[in-house]
A and B are shown apart, each in its own frame.
Chain A
């Protein structure tokens, strides 16, 4: 996606963003499944502040960036909102995600951060996520291949 020739600061900036993102997850204690489970069991509503606090900041960025800048300085992309098409998958996938999240207290970003705070046990969750993403991907390629006449080589 027009990333063939990248600005030398592209990767350093991605790394910086990841560092702040992960620091924030650990600071908010979202790296601890127990804290997420406490929220889901109505014992501590703090998670609301994490999600909407984060969304408020990105909201400002999404509104201001296209008005103040010609385009992203490090890529040839354009400033676009994160819009995904709505269909039944959003509900089905969201529900499956919700079952997993409610059972474990873990979501992808928080799981990476949990590893960063020394939580080796979280590798169970990370392994599960890779298994889940792989199984879904294989299933999806099969159904795609079934639909298309020119099936891609395995």
Chain B
């Protein structure tokens, strides 16, 4: 006799199951681990923003990333291409478009751009490599942006902004 409670909870909290999330997460960790094992680099996604700005801005703030900007472009290109490979093989063939409104994406993007630079990392730098390193700074960083994001998303939804 299977206890129905866990299954019920699974359906309630995970309406899309857990396999896609767990397998996807393991692959994300594998991608970061491949880079780390080969090069010793803890790859994050957000430094690409500043390092790429060094191509167009002479400011010292961005110039410090000149030595790493080329591989960061390659890593980011890999992320885009890897996602495209998934899309092409899974059947939706690059057809997905978000319904979230452009102003939310843009304003959110600006804040993410500022926040990740001030806060020393993003969901991959802090969340994947930092937590993987058992870094207390990263754990605090993740807890901070997770709690704030949950609060903001709840307020935005309560205000009736959708999608």
* A57 cross-chain contacts in B, Cβ below 8 A: 25-26, 28-30, 32-33, 132
* A120 cross-chain contacts in B, Cβ below 8 A: 97
Q: Which residues of A contact B (CB under 8 A)?
A: 1, 3, 9-11, 13-34, 37, 40-62, 65, 69, 71-75, 77-86, 89-122, 124-138, 140-141, 144, 152, 154
| A21/B32 contact (C-beta < 8 A), A103-B108, A128-B110 known | yes
A11-B93 Cα distance, complex, nearest whole Å? 27
Tell me whether B128 and A98 are in contact (CB under 8 A): no
| A114/B83 contact (C-beta < 8 A), A18-B78, A128-B110 known | yes
Tell me whether A84 and B53 are in contact (CB under 8 A): no
Most A Cβ at <10 Å: residue of B13, B35, B95 = B35
Tell me whether B75 and A17 are in contact (CB under 8 A): yes
> Nearest residue in B to A109 (C-beta to C-beta)?
B45
Size bin of chain B's contact surface: 35 or more
| B residues 57-108 in Cβ contact with A at 8 Å | 57-62, 67-68, 70-71, 74-87, 90, 92-100, 102-108
Residue interface mask B24-51, A partner, CB < 8 A = 1: 1111111111111111111101101110
A124-B98 Cα distance, complex, nearest whole Å? 11
* A152 cross-chain contacts in B, Cβ below 8 A: 60
Tell me whether B25 and A50 are in contact (CB under 8 A): yes
Known contacts A97-B122, A119-B98, A133-B116; can you find 17 more A-B pairs with CB under 8 A?
A: A16-B34, A21-B43, A34-B163, A49-B22, A51-B127, A57-B29, A59-B132, A69-B37, A83-B137, A90-B120, A98-B115, A108-B124, A112-B76, A112-B83, A115-B83, A127-B109, A128-B107
Tell me whether A97 and B37 are in contact (CB under 8 A): no
Tell me whether A27 and B149 are in contact (CB under 8 A): no
* A124 cross-chain contacts in B, Cβ below 8 A: 102-103, 105-106, 109
A105-B70 Cα distance, complex, nearest whole Å? 28
* A27 cross-chain contacts in B, Cβ below 8 A: 20, 23-24, 27, 86, 90
A84-B74 Cα distance, complex, nearest whole Å? 24
